[in-house]
Structure 1
């Protein structure tokens, strides 16, 4: 993950459509895995994770709408670490929703997967429109504080969620990790993995576990 740029230099261009990079094409009715990068990265940063996902999927990486510096973008500014302002989070989530609405047919399954800050966005996609997403993946990510519009639905439906985190990851605030670990079993059917010695990054093992989870989620959609 690149060093965090000065958050005061963020350009609030959230009204602009997010850019995207296609990692793998597939037929129009194939499930879509939407990869969401972390703070200070761009749509190239998770391409390697995308190449490890199962065949037969359309894999797309979105570039977050806030520009920090050339090649460095964010879904929302960092205010209180681990507890961002929900009002500041909402526009980035809305931009990702808008991309899905524009580029994916309504009957095609979509699975958002995010790293770090992108993990929060992936979970918010699910929490705000649970009927649209087949699940969500969090890679060193966390969930937003408070109740979201779709949380009551999630408590009934318990969609699949993958959460993988390194034991040496000190970037995400401890209270956000605790919040996430408490939220997952109450709202989802969670697959939780811990990776000894891994810092704030995605390892080959974690990417493999994610791929196995995605394969299971897609198989359930088509069962």
Structure 2
């Protein structure tokens, strides 16, 4: 009988905020979820290119791995398709952290690679809590969750951007995501010519416009 993954927690001291606690009141929240082997400082650098309205919180993944941190370990999961149990453990850690924060008027998600997969998993686990998601160079995780029915009915806005020469995400994961997203979101899908596993200035411009439109 498979064992449940250990409970994970978010390091509250490691979260990077774009505004002081006083200046966060009554403003939308945008959470940044970094990729594998990185940390909270990585995506925080794109904050200057995003709309000013939402408060940004860049969160550190809970599993030390590689040169930084991971949302789910590469040593105990298939490449670009972690088990639902492990993905849910990471998502639950984020939801627990959110429970300790003052409730904002809305919450958006922006994730890169593993963080993009986690952004979708958070929407699938608690669809009523999130207004939109931006997934950059990420993927959907195989399997079904109860929240998938809610997403299929309400179709929240999702931006999916990826590079045409990104060979870090296997084609099977791209195919799975291509099949899943259109029926569970109002999808804005972009493929950037000549871009590898990275974020381009053009993509950031498109992401910023997407978030402005949603807000």
- What is the aligned counterpart of 2:89 among 88, 91, 107? 91
1:88 Cα deviation from its structure 2 partner: 1.6
Take 1:166 and 1:214, find their aligned partners in 2: how far apart are those partners?
20
| Equivalent position of 2:122 in the other structure | 125
* TM-score, scaled relative to structure 1: 0.87
Q: What do the CA deviations read for 1:13-36 (whole angstroms, capped 9, x no partner)?
A: 853333311134543111111000
Q: What do the CA deviations read for 1:106-159 (whole angstroms, capped 9, x no partner)?
A: x52000110000001100111111110001110000011011120001111010
Take 1:189 and 1:104, find their aligned partners in 2: how far apart are those partners?
28
1:158·1:188 contact (CA, 8 Å) conserved in 2?
yes
- What is the aligned counterpart of 1:77 among 56, 69, 73? 73
1:75·1:89 contact (CA, 8 Å) conserved in 2?
yes
Query: Following TM superposition, where does structure 1 have runs of at least 4 consecutive aligned residues deviating by more than 6 angstroms?
Result: none
* TM-score, scaled relative to structure 2: 0.90
1:13·1:66 contact (CA, 8 Å) conserved in 2?
no
1:104 Cα deviation from its structure 2 partner: 3.7
1:171 Cα deviation from its structure 2 partner: 0.3
1:35·1:50 contact (CA, 8 Å) conserved in 2?
no
| Equivalent position of 1:108 in the other structure | 105
**How many residues of Structure 1 are paired with residues of Structure 2 in the alignment?**
205
